[in-house]
């Protein structure tokens, strides 16, 4: 059965996504090698972080990715950020926080956000880029916060902003320009290395994105192709950086999105259990059902979570999963990195497995397409070495897809 590709597909027409993970790892190695030009900037920032006791020093690879992220987002959105007043961005940021804290008011907040985001935040196709300065960086961060889609990114870039406040304007401009230049190289090179996995992004933006006008996901669903590639590399770097902490945890938990269900509600018989849903095994072909059984056999828990944001807000994640647990987050490319950062912030060391394709009804498809993952990749991350079980799981997965 041929899979419908909405924006991206890690399988690229193949039976599984094994080749994608090889390509993503190889390209990440290339990116980090090329990023050596940024290491002097990273080193000075690490020294500032240590001297000011901002946080425990993280790896140079993580800080390098943050610079790449800044350069990429600057090239796409910095011009849009100049067109909106701080008053409107403040209102939208407040509404974004409100929807996280109050599920009762969430529909109202989202309705208002959809209107305001369409008017003030919807990205344009202009090529103009503002001067690299602290003023324009602050405007970009305000714009990102207003979207509600870049909460974790803003937290990290605020640390960079505070660091740059200690430097001269010329030094700030030089550092940001270096990040922008690296992002320019990354966009061109990533298209050659990872572009085959994002074949329909432009088509979606041209033909389908207009349907998201006046909805709260008008900005989220407008992600550019390079943002998909950025998150693919970010997921690879995150897995490497957090791997040791994850392996030291005694228990592992896999967080599944609702789009992995074979049937949508009401045909899906999963029972709500507070923040998550309990699979009842109503459909043998369902990936959630298959993963639940694998978890029971190999000692990891599986949680079907309709709303990822509710799980990683406050102490909710710890209440659902427990403390000192290694998290395997499964999500589409656009959500994965921010979700991993949320889990890390709760003291739940994360690893991530990308959905082989997107298909949820909320953002990508009118009817919804059941999504899938690479089972072998999940086995590898959790550390299951039972080759026979992995082989049987892949066969069952293939049979279910037929």
The pLDDT tens digits for 230-269 are: 999 999 999 999 999 999 999 999 999 989 999 888 889 8
Instruction: Say how far residue 236 (Cα) sits from the centre of its chain.
Output: 11
Tell me the Cα Rg of the chain: 21
User: How far is 378 from 372, CA to CA, in rounded Å?
Assistant: 12
pLDDT the model gives residue 368: 84
1 pLDDT higher than 50: no
User: How far is 337 from 343, CA to CA, in rounded Å?
Assistant: 10
Percent of the chain topping pLDDT 90:
71
Per-residue model confidence as pLDDT tens digits over 315-345: 555 666 777 899 999 999 988 898 899 889 8
pLDDT the model gives residue 126: 64
Assess contact for 105 and 99: CB atoms under 8 A.
Answer: yes
Coil, strand or helix at 106: helix
Per-residue model confidence as pLDDT tens digits over 150-162: 999 999 999 999 9
399 pLDDT higher than 70: no
Per-residue model confidence as pLDDT tens digits over 363-387: 898 888 989 999 999 999 999 876 5
Assess contact for 186 and 175: CB atoms under 8 A.
Answer: no
Per-residue model confidence as pLDDT tens digits over 63-121: 999 999 999 999 999 999 988 899 999 999 999 999 888 878 989 999 999 999 999 99
Token pair in block for residue 7: 């924006």
Assess contact for 25 and 236: CB atoms under 8 A.
Answer: yes
> In which residue are the tokens 């609702």 written?
258
pLDDT the model gives residue 4: 81
Q: pLDDT-derived band of residue 393, with 50, 70 and 90 as boundaries?
A: low
Dihedral, CA of residue 343, residue 347, residue 348 and residue 354, to nearest 10: 30
Average confidence (pLDDT) over 46-64: 96
User: How far is 369 from 6, CA to CA, in rounded Å?
Assistant: 9
Per-residue model confidence as pLDDT tens digits over 196-243: 999 999 999 999 999 999 999 999 999 999 999 999 999 999 999 999
Q: Residue 332's CB: how many other CB atoms inside 10 A?
A: 23
Closest CA to 160 of 76, 70, 233, 34: 70
Q: E-assigned strands of 275-349?
A: 276-278, 301-305, 325-331
Closest CA to 161 of 150, 176, 144: 176
Q: Residue 206's CB: how many other CB atoms inside 10 A?
A: 9
180 pLDDT higher than 90: yes
Q: Which residues pair with 251 in a beta bridge?
A: 325
Token pair in block for residue 214: 């006046």
Helix-helix angle 225-248:18-34, to 10 degrees: 90
Host H or E run for residue 88: helix 86-101
354 compared with 99, residue with greater pLDDT: 354
Percent of the chain topping pLDDT 70:
90
């Amino acid at each position: 059965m041929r899979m419908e590709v909405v924006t991206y597909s890690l399988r690229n027409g193949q039976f599984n996504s094994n080749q994608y993970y090889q390509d993503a790892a190889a390209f990440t190695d290339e990116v980090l090698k090329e990023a050596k030009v940024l290491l002097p900037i990273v080193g000075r920032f690490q020294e500032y972080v240590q001297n000011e006791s901002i946080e425990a020093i993280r790896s140079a690879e993580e800080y390098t990715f943050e610079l790449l992220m800044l350069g990429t987002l600057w090239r796409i959105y910095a011009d849009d950020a100049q067109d909106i007043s701080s008053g409107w961005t403040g209102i939208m940021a407040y509404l974004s926080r409100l929807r996280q804290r109050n599920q009762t008011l969430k529909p109202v907040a989202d309705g208002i956000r959809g209107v305001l985001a369409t008017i003030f935040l919807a990205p344009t196709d202009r090529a103009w880029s503002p001067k690299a300065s602290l003023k324009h960086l602050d405007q970009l961060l305000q714009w990102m916060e207003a979207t509600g889609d870049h909460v974790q990114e803003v937290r990290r870039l605020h640390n960079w902003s505070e660091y740059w406040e200690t430097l001269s304007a010329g030094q700030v401009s030089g550092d940001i320009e270096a990040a922008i230049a690296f992002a320019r190289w990354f966009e061109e090179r990533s298209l050659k290395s990872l572009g085959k996995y994002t074949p329909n992004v432009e088509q979606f933006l041209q033909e389908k994105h207009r349907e998201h006008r006046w909805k709260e996901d008008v900005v989220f669903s407008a992600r550019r192709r390079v943002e998909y590639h950025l998150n693919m590399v970010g997921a690879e770097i995150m897995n490497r950086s957090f791997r040791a902490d994850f392996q030291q945890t005694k228990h592992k938990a896999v967080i599944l999105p609702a789009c992995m269900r074979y049937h949508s509600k009401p045909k899906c018989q999963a029972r709500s259990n507070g923040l998550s849903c309990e699979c009842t095994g109503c459909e043998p072909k369902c990936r959630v059902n298959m993963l639940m059984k694998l978890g029971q056999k190999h000692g990891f828990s599986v949680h079907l979570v309709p709303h990822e944001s509710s799980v990683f807000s406050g102490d909710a994640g710890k209440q659902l999963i427990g403390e000192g647990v290694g998290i395997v987050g499964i999500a589409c490319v656009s959500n994965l990195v921010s979700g991993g950062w949320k889990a890390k912030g709760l003291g739940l060391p994360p690893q991530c497995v990308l959905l082989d394709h997107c298909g949820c009804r909320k953002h990508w498809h009118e009817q919804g397409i059941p999504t899938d993952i690479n089972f072998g990749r999940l086995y590898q991350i959790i550390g299951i070495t039972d080759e026979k079980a992995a082989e049987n799981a892949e066969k069952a997965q293939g049979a279910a897809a037929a």
